[in-house]
Amino acid sequence: MKLIEVSKNFPTEEQALAYFEKRRWPNGIRCPICGAKEISKITRKSKSKNVRAQVYQCLEQTCKSQFSATSGTIFHDSHLPLSKWFMAISLMIDAKKGMSALQLQRHLGVNYRTAWYLAHRIREAMDEPDGLKLTGTVEIDETYIGGKQRGHKGKKLNKDVVLGIRQRGGPLKLVHVVDNKAGTLYEQVAQHVDKDKTDHIVTDDAGWYNFRLTKFRNVRHSKILHSAKEYVRGEVHTNTVENAFSLLKRAVIGTYHQLSIKHLQRYLNEFSYRFNRREIADRFEQTVARMVGIKAMPYRKLIEQHAFTPFVKP
Ligand SMILES: [Zn+2]
């Protein structure tokens, strides 16, 4: 669903709630506390259009809980109408270069704190499931993000290293790594590439790509000689991972002017989530469905989580 369809399909909060209810309870409403099917509807009259007036009452004698369609989900302790959430989701998953909290603020007409909160909560749904492993022909390359280095040609000491692993014709995985040493990169490759289902690894001729002493030693490994200005040799190239890098760089430069390095991995996750679904027609529906499964997250907890530093650079 594109933004235009989202605003057309959910002109009222009731319609957005009905859509959400179907995603949450495809087989009929159940009490989120005890799981009972016997429930009754209570419609409250509300003066404010932003208040979710539809409430349910569990009829199980030992439970008797009252709940709404969003109770216990990530959407719950938000005073924003669901229709705004849906617009934010649509904006974030369709923005090729990413969407900053500042842009969300402008598009939705909410304050910055609300936009920031929304963006981070939607990102929670944008983590790839654990265990996604790449197969087939796998291109591996690294790129450097960060400060300019005048007079230090070739040295990349102050820059942050992003390792890109892409299954040719398939998904992309981006990892913020501490350095470009062979051991560091290999550890990530081992985590994200399926050794048994990969028949070809392609990298450039940088010295750190050497799998001879690793469990990938029996997988065919080709090197494209970037140092000799060679970019394609038949099926040997890293062009599809490099295409992703150039889009990433435009996103980092164009959207997140003040991208904080400590949040880099989260932005990388968001970027790859979007990238990997750019041709999937129901990515909006899929993202809402994922968010249904994410528990409520208080502002304080979110701040704590986002204050983490994945590693300290030496
Ligand atoms: Zn109940």
Per-residue pLDDT tens digits for 216-256? 999 999 999 988 889 999 999 999 999 999 999 888 776 66
| 141 strand-pairing partners | 164
38 Cα–ligand 1 center, Å: 8
Question: How confident is the prediction for the chain on average, in pLDDT?
Answer: 85
Q: What is the structure's pLDDT at 77?
A: 63
265 Cα–ligand 1 center, Å: 39
64 Cα–ligand 1 center, Å: 6
Task: Tell whether the model's pLDDT for residue 50 goes beyond 60.
Answer: no
Task: Tell whether the model's pLDDT for residue 72 goes beyond 60.
Answer: yes
Q: Are strands 172-177 and 66-67 parallel, antiparallel or unpaired?
A: unpaired
37 Cα–ligand 1 center, Å: 8
Contact 50, 81 (CB under 8 A): yes
**Per mean pLDDT, which range of 41-55, 99-113, 280-294 is the poorest?**
41-55
Contact 100, 255 (CB under 8 A): yes
Ligand 1 (ion): residues with CB under 5 Å are 31, 33-34, 36, 58, 60, 63, 65
Handedness of CA 270, 281, 249, 189 (dihedral sign): positive
Contact 23, 292 (CB under 8 A): yes
Tokens at 210, concatenated: 């050497």
In terms of Cα–Cα distance, which of 105, 107, 92, 122 is closest to 302? 122
Q: What is the structure's pLDDT at 79?
A: 75
Contact 177, 161 (CB under 8 A): yes
DSSP secondary structure of 61-83: TTT--EE-TTTTSTTTT--S-HH
What is the distance between the alpha carbons of residues 49 and 53, in angstroms, rounded to a whole number? 9
29 Cα–ligand 1 center, Å: 11
39 Cα–ligand 1 center, Å: 8
What's at 90, amino acid-wise?
Answer: S
In terms of Cα–Cα distance, which of 199, 133, 137 is closest to 168? 137
The pLDDT tens digits for 149-185 are 444 455 556 788 999 999 999 999 999 999 999 999 9
Q: Are strands 172-177 and 54-58 parallel, antiparallel or unpaired?
A: unpaired
Tokens at 236, concatenated: 């040997």
Q: What is the structure's pLDDT at 314?
A: 46
What's the angle, vertex CA 84, arms to CA 101 and CA 248, rounded to 5? 35
249 Cα–ligand 1 center, Å: 49
φ/ψ of 170, rounded to 5, equals -140, -155
Q: What is the structure's pLDDT at 146?
A: 74
65 Cα–ligand 1 center, Å: 5
28 Cα–ligand 1 center, Å: 14
- pTM value > 0.85: no
| 160 strand-pairing partners | 145
In terms of Cα–Cα distance, which of 243, 290, 303, 296 is closest to 271? 243
- How many CB atoms are closer than 10 A to CB 35? 10
- How many CB atoms are closer than 10 A to CB 243? 14
Specify the length of the chain in residues. Answer: 314
**Per mean pLDDT, which range of 21-25, 129-133, 192-196 is the poorest?**
129-133
- Which alpha helices (H) appear in the chain, and where do they start and end? 3-9, 13-24, 82-94, 101-108, 112-124, 182-192, 239-254, 264-276, 283-292, 299-306
20 Cα–ligand 1 center, Å: 20
61 Cα–ligand 1 center, Å: 8
186 Cα–ligand 1 center, Å: 49
